[in-house]
Every structure is written in structure tokens, then in C-alpha cells.
Structure 1
Amino acid sequence: MAQDITVMWGSGSPPCWKALIALHEKNLQGYNSVLLSFDKKEHKSQQVLDINPRGQLPAFKHKDRVVNESYGICMYLESEFKSQGNKLVPDCGRAQARMYQRMFEAQTMQQKIMDVVAYTWRVPEDERHDSAVKRNAEALTAELKLWEGYLKTGPGPFLAGKDFSLADVTVYPNIAFLFRFGLCEKRYPNLATYYNSLKDRPSIKATWPPTWLENPQGMDMLKDFESNTPSFSHCVIRNCFCNPLL
């Protein structure tokens, strides 16, 4: 069954990580895993383009069915393998509504992370405006405080309630990315508690980005982003948050 699945992915990319977590939650570890290098531009290779003409990762194929959007992959796996592995969509209508709300609302979080990160990447240093950097940082700060509130009011311990769901599959990699690059745990205690509580979940631990394992120290680029002008490098974006809107 899993042998019919091929996933091409890059280490450190949250969209790729979402797909990998979903595969492990559905007990599909025997899939054909193809780890590619963004540095070497392997995501633009013909083997990727044959599945995903956009040349982006993840690239996913099950039999003759192609799904390349990370949210779509997660939803497809839960639907196609509903009776296998862990159930990722709650039966309770209230919890299900909360799950879908948090799941798709997280795309706003992704965009605001990218607004902060990509500005430095895309705009030459002599063309940057402190006002734009400040505006993007303030928007991300407000977004993260919103998620702090969600986790504080519960019902928890997971994003949709008492059970791990697609909301956690799709949101956790974004939150892990933030702490990987220095988000202050003391400033965001509820996000930090959520992040640390899931580190050892088998699906997350088994799919932890290998580049992060090689360098567990991480970076401090987001440590003071609320009060200071953030500084992000091209390699961080290329290696760690590629294809963020998939």
C-alpha cells in the first residue's frame, strides 16, 4: 500500500514536513521517500517536474494520483487511509469545526512569517525601509499573540481539542520553525509548551528535519524580532522555509 506512494521533499521545509508527519500518522512509513537538495536546485529537476510542473516540494504521487499542495496531501491521506493509523479528523462537529478553522487559519501565520523573512531576501539592502521591516514584524507579533490566546483558552492540549488532528499536523511545523530560529519561549509560553510537548510524538520525532538534527543548536534570528530590525540570510529561506505557501 505505502509502496505505491512517492514523496519528494526537502529538509527543513515546513510544507514538506507536514506531508511526512501525515504519512507517519497514517502508518505509511514504507513509502518511497526521495530527499532532495534545495541548494543543488534538485527541486527543479525533471523527476520533480514530471510530478509537479511548478518545480516545488513536496511532490506527491499515489499510484496515478498527484497531489502537490501540502494541505491537500494531508487531507488526501486522511481520506484515503481513514481506517489506518491514527484518526486525524475528530468525529465531534465542534472539534471538527475548530480543527478546520485552525488548520486553514495557519496559512495566515505562514504568510506573515514569510513577510518578515522574505523582505530581507527579496529586497536589496540599500532599498530596504525600516518602516516596512517594522510593519511586518508588528504583524507577525500580533499573529503570534493570537495563537498564544488560542492555546491558553483551549480546550487543548491539541489545537482542536483533546486529540491530535490535521490542525496539529499542518500547524506544528510552522511553530517549530519559529522556535528553531530563536523565537523567545518566555515571551510565548503557550506556544513553547505546545512546541515542546509534541517534540517526542513518534510521527514528529521520526520526521524531524535531518538538517536540524545535524545542527541542533539552531539560530537566534527571531530572538529579538519584536524590538529590533530582524536580520535573515538568503540561505535560511532557501533551506528552511522553501515553498511556504503550499
Structure 2
Amino acid sequence: MARDPDIVFYHAPQSRSIIVQWMLEELGEPYRLHLLNLKKDEHKQPGYLAVNPMGKVPAIAHKGVVVTEAAAICCYLADAYPSAGLNVPVGDLRRGPYLKWLFFGPSCLEPAIIDRMFKRPDVTPGALGYGSYDATLDLVAKAVATGPYLLGPHFSAADVVIGSGLTWGMMIKALPERPEFTAYAARLRERQALQRVYAKDAELAAAQAA
């Protein structure tokens, strides 16, 4: 008799939890899907608030440990399953750039995208955690220009986070389709794990809409 998977994944289709869905597909480890319907406010019900009091997706439970926030989950899973090759281990000097890009996504890239999406007025760059919109984009463009990935030939959890942010930003027209971004996104779309994610998420979204 097969035992239950060690990972429980709390997911809502067509949300930022697709980042963790991609990470899980890259890992290749079994997981149990706990689906939430945001339109029915299932993420605000007591059962899920006991998992994540913020009432947000994604979240995972791994051997009884709950982890929230997409980048933190990706970092955690990459270290928990090192055989997948999605992390950079402690002691490897590349871990510094790896961690920088993992957390550059939610701390710099995503806030810059959201400010542009909502047309928030410009403020003094020093008052923003990410500095400026243009500087943020220039730095990411330089990092992905040589490729194929952020760490050269090594695809990592950092690519899951940054690649997801760039793809989303271009989709909502809050990021320009700079050649560096579109080429990087095209390389990521060639990954079978991401292709599976898009297909699965479309099916889940259609089922919830039915």
C-alpha cells in the first residue's frame, strides 16, 4: 500500500501559487493537491486560515512543517530535495547569487511590477525597497541575457521565481517585452515541467469555472 506523499500543496488555479506548482513539477516528487477556489473565498475559511493566517496561496505542508510565501517554499523544497539539482548547497560560492535572485523576485521585481500595474506615482528611489523600476529591469535583463539561466547552465529554483515574475509581468503589460526577457521566457517554456504546469492549471481552472 502506497503511503501518503510527504508534501501537501495548497493551490488555487491562475494565481501566484503556480510558481510552487512549477517548482513541484521540476522536483518530480509526489504531492497531494489541496485545491482552493478563490472565487468562493475558500482561502478565507477557518480550515485554511489555520494553515496560513494570511489567507493567501501558496502554502505547503511537508512532514508536518507548514511553509508559506512562494520564494520561501521554493528555497525550502530545493534544499529538502537536493537530488533534483534545483538548489545550490551551503559551501558552494554560487549560493550567494542563487539566494539573491530567489529573494530579488518578491522583494524587488514583484513590487516594481505591481507599482507599474497600478500606476502608482513615482517617489524618491531611496524610499523604495527596489530602488527604481528601470534599475530593477536593467539588472534582471543583464542577468538573463547570457543564459541560458540565471546561474549559467544550472537551472535552479531562482529561475522558477524570477522566470515566473517576468512571465507574469509581460502578460499583464507591466513589463516591456525586452529581447532579453522574451528570449529567457522562451527558454523556460521549453521545459517539460512548465508545459505540464500550464496544461494542468488550465484544466483545474476550467473545472472550477464549470
TM-score exceeds 0.5 = yes
1:165 and 2:156 correspond: yes
CA distance 1:35–1:180, change in 2 (3 Å): farther
| 2:193 corresponding residue in structure 1 | 203
Partner of 1:129: none
Alignment-derived partner of residue 64 in structure 2: 64
User: Aligned to 1:207, what secondary structure does the other structure show?
Assistant: helix
Contact 2:13 2:204 in 1 (8 A): no
Distance 1:111 1:175 in 2: 12
Runs of 5+ consecutive residues of structure 2 not aligned to the other structure: 126-130
State the alpha-carbon separation in 1 of the partners of residues 4 and 132 from structure 2: 41
Q: How many residues align?
A: 195
* Contact 2:102 2:158 (8 Å CA) reproduced: yes
- How far residue 163 of structure 1 moved from its aligned partner, in angstroms, is 0.9
Shift of 1:212: 10
1:178 maps to which of 169, 174, 177: 169
Structure 2 letter corresponding to 1:95: R
1:55 aligns with 2:55: yes
* Corresponding residue to 1:191 among 169, 178, 181: 181
Distance 1:118 1:55 in 2: 22
Aligned match of 1:232: none
Q: Which residues of 2 match residues 7-26 of structure 1 at below 5 A?
A: 7-14=9-16, 16-26=17-27
Alpha-carbon separation, structure 2, partners of 1:195 and 1:2: 34
CA drift of 1:35 comes to 2.7
The alpha carbon displacement at 1:118 in A equals 4.3
1:45–1:175: structure 2 CA closer, same or farther, 3 Å change rule? Answer: same
The question of 1:143 aligning with 2:136 is answered yes
Structure number with greater CO (CA < 8 Å, separation at least 6) is 1
SS of match in other structure, 1:172: helix
Q: Which amino acid aligns with 1:210?
A: D
Cα drift, residue 144 of structure 1: 1.6
Give the secondary-structure state (helix, strand or coil) at the position aligned to 1:12.
coil
Structure 1: gaps of 5 or more residues: 121-131, 216-246
RMSD (CA atoms): 3.0
Pair 1:2–1:116, CA change in 2 (3 A): farther
Instruction: Provide the rounded CA distance (Å) in 2 between the counterparts of 1:212 and 1:194.
Output: 26
Secondary structure of 2:9's counterpart equals: strand
Which letter maps to 1:111?
Answer: P
Distance 1:88 1:31, change over 3 A: same
For residues 43 and 147 of structure 1, what CA distance do their matches in structure 2 show? 32
CA pair 205-33 structure 1, distance change in 2 beyond 3 A: same
- Matched residue, 1:27: 28
